[in-house]
């Protein structure tokens, strides 16, 4: 980070992309709080948009309906105690966007070009005036191609499935490891092969495979990358 110069020179972005279940949000939260910058979870915005479509009764197959309806969905972001709060038409929807139904709808509505245009604009606006750690699928490639730091965080599908399985069983939820892994592979397939802004590693992103790493080790590795790129 430059100490001299105008405001914009001191503003920086850390872009973290990667597949579902790679641990992006856990690590991005920790990194942003250590750096004292805001954390922007772009997946939550796609989830809020999906929730809007569900509330409006718009079918996942109705691409034109999704394009039209997304113009009336006013999505904004607030921060309370360092946590991102997603506001959908005036309502805090943080508690409503982590269901299976919303996950499924988000993975379909996020393919719609009008949805993406609208949310990318909001994401760029957030990174314009403040330093951010932003995670998603297309941050380093599309949203913030000039980000000072780009990280592609991944892990094998087996490891990602096991982490999710442990998380759910710790909460007392019954689940099947093989089903979770199949679901992860299906989401990878959709995210990586869609026409617009598919998930891929940016040419200038650093690949971090966390399959054999613990959370502290990943955090330290990312801090080293950030320090090397922005000092």
Binding site for ligand DC (CB under 6 A): 20, 42-43, 46-47, 106-107, 110, 136-138, 191
CA 128, 227, 197, 101 torsion: positive or negative?
A: negative
Cα separation of 149 and 142, whole Å? 14
Residue 116 structure tokens: 């993406």
Nearer to ligand DC, 8 or 193 (CB): 193
- Contact between residue 30 and residue 219 where contact means Cβ atoms under 8 Å apart: yes
**Smallest separation, CB 77 to ligand DC (Å):** 14
Cα separation of 205 and 127, whole Å? 18
**Smallest separation, CB 169 to ligand DC (Å):** 20
- Contact between residue 181 and residue 171 where contact means Cβ atoms under 8 Å apart: no
Nearest to 197 by CA among 38, 24, 29, 46: 46
**Smallest separation, CB 227 to ligand DC (Å):** 25
Nearest to 102 by CA among 113, 123, 86, 120: 86
Nearer to ligand DC, 12 or 46 (CB): 46
Nearer to ligand DC, 4 or 171 (CB): 171
**Smallest separation, CB 42 to ligand DC (Å):** 4
Cα separation of 65 and 201, whole Å? 31
Nearer to ligand DC, 61 or 228 (CB): 61
Residue 165 structure tokens: 């399985």
Nearer to ligand DC, 84 or 107 (CB): 107
Cα separation of 184 and 172, whole Å? 21
- Contact between residue 209 and residue 196 where contact means Cβ atoms under 8 Å apart: no
**Smallest separation, CB 33 to ligand DC (Å):** 19
**Smallest separation, CB 2 to ligand DC (Å):** 28
- Identify the residue whose tokens are 């996942």: 60
Nearer to ligand DC, 9 or 185 (CB): 185
Nearer to ligand DC, 119 or 225 (CB): 119
CA 214, 36, 95, 15 torsion: positive or negative?
A: negative
**Smallest separation, CB 213 to ligand DC (Å):** 20
């Amino acid at each position: 980070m430059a100490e001299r110069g105008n405001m914009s020179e001191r503003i920086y972005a850390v872009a973290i992309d990667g597949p579902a279940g790679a641990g992006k949000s856990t690590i991005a939260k920790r990194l942003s709080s250590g750096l004292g910058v805001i954390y922007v979870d772009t997946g939550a915005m796609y989830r809020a948009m999906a929730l809007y479509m569900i509330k409006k009764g718009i079918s996942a197959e109705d691409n034109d309906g999704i394009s039209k309806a997304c113009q009336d969905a006013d999505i904004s972001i607030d921060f309370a105690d360092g946590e991102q709060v997603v506001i959908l038409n005036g309502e805090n929807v943080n508690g409503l966007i982590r269901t299976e139904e919303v996950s499924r709808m988000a993975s379909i509505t996020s393919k719609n070009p009008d949805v993406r245009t609208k949310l990318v604009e909001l994401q760029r606006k957030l990174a314009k005036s403040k330093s951010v750690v932003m995670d998603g699928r297309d941050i380093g490639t599309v949203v913030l191609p000039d980000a000072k730091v780009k990280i592609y965080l991944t892990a094998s599908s087996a490891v990602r499935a096991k982490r999710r399985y442990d998380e759910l069983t710790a909460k007392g939820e019954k689940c099947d490891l093989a089903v979770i892994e199949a679901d992860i592979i299906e989401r990878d397939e959709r995210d990586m092969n869609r026409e617009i802004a598919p998930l891929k590693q940016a040419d200038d992103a650093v690949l971090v495979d966390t399959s054999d790493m613990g959370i502290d080790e990943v955090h330290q590795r990312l801090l080293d990358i950030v320090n090397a790129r922005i000092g």
